[in-house]
Amino acid sequence: MAQLRSCSVLKSAAWWWPLVSLFLVQLPFSVLAIQYEMTVNILPGNVDCFFETAKAGQTIDIEYQVIDGRFGNLDISFELAEVTGRTIFADYKKSDNNHRFPVPYDGEYKFCFDNSFSGANFKRVFFELIIEREGEEETNWPDYDLLEGLTPEEFYAMKMQDMVDVIKRVHNNLTKARQLQNLLRSNEARDRNVAENNYFMVNLWSYFQILVMLSVGWVQVVMVKSLFDVGSRGYKLLTML
């Protein structure tokens, strides 16, 4: 299996943030699909790119979602392109999206997350990449009776192939169910981060209002007190006004 390669293009002076988590899933039937699930931090002013090889007849299926960002900004630009530079899909400042691309010929493809438009906000992005050949796990048997004229060994091999096909379908269905659960978890993480950011902003604004109210109350007390103290500076200031 080809290994996922990545690179980061800096557009501002910033240090590389460590990879938060990397989940590499290798299917028992490795010829069927290549699947990666990753959560990465994209620094302000950075463009992070990843590379993967695909063969003709396969399908590239990629889904991404911004689950966290400073000050609640959940948007990122995305590009899927050939290494030669030809753009296949491009998104500008979106919080999530998914793309499906039938591979026309063998080659290496790159997908990039662009946070160069942000000067201060990092973005935490969860994405899932699947490269597979649709329907290759299916075996289409002819319509006529296969039992006629078969030796016991051929009949055994046919039945074993049927069992392998059923196991593959069950495995693929379980994989799709797990992918859906991962997507639901990423949605939950994004909503929780938004709620925590809103909670922080509400508390900050409340503290500011309390500080203003205390300051205004103190000023009012000083002004009222100065009205009865002829020798105070406040009284002289009020008389001048």
Report how far apart the first and last C-alpha atoms of the chain are (Å, whole number).
83
> Tell me: the pLDDT tens digits for 136-162?
444 444 444 555 666 777 767 777 877
pLDDT at 91 over 60: yes
**Rounded Cα gap, residues 182 and 164, in angstroms:** 27
Q: What tokens appear for 34 in the block?
A: 């290549």
123-132 and 33-42 strand pairing: antiparallel
How do residues 98-143 score in pLDDT, each as one tens digit?
A: 899 999 988 899 999 999 988 888 888 988 888 887 654 444 444 4
Half-sphere exposure of 29 (CA within 13 A, CB side): 17
What does DSSP say about strands 46-54 and 5-10: parallel, antiparallel, or unpaired?
Answer: antiparallel
